[in-house]
Amino acid sequence: MAAPWAYVDTSVLLKRYIEEAGAAGSRRLLRRYRVVSSAIAPVEATSALWRRRAANDVADADLQAILRRLVDDRSHWELVDLTADVLDRAEQVIQRTGVRTLDAVHLASALVVQAASGRGRAMQFITADARQREAAAGLGLQVAWVG
């Protein structure tokens, strides 16, 4: 039986590649679920990794290896396109919760996938971002916290 799908935010995806608080829990969840995320996740992750490199938190050789793994891994993820529906929902999410733009896109993407799945139960939304966790719960998503 195939693993169930779960929406995974970039904050959790990064913990697959960087050793930091919550990395072990993140890796456990990533083994348990098939990843659904926004099409912005690889771009957002790449930006975060380059910022860490600029701050000397990641060595050049490590960055290049992580970027190669990221490219390999994303071929196994289901990435949600930035459609008009996702962007409309993101605006609604911002108006309802006050989250930042990229958080709103992630939350809207999860809501669109959940609605399209036709399942009566909430989609698992995995995040390591406290503000996003609160907003996701308020929007009716089933939240798994990686702290």
Tokens linked to 82? 């930035």
Q: What is the pLDDT of residues 69-108, one digit of tens each?
A: 999 999 999 999 999 999 999 999 999 999 999 999 999 9
Say what the pTM is: 0.93
**Would strands 34-38 and 124-127 be described as parallel, antiparallel, or unpaired?**
unpaired
- Lowest-confidence region among 19-23, 122-126, 141-145: 122-126
For CA atoms 92, 96, 98, 9, give the dihedral sign: negative
Amino acid found at 63: L
- Position 28 scores a pLDDT of 93
Domains and CATH numbers, the chain: 5-130+133-145 (3.40.50.1010)
- What is residue 35's DSSP assignment? E
Q: Measure the CA–CA gap between 53 and 8, rounded to whole angstroms.
A: 23
Q: Mean of the pLDDT values across residues 4-8?
A: 93
- Mean pLDDT over the full length of the chain: 94
For the stretch 7-54, pLDDT in tens is 999 999 999 999 899 999 999 999 999 999 999 999 999 999 999 999
Residue 123 pLDDT: 76
Please, what is the Cα angle at 116 between 111 and 122, to 5 degrees?
Answer: 50
Give residue 99's pLDDT.
Answer: 97
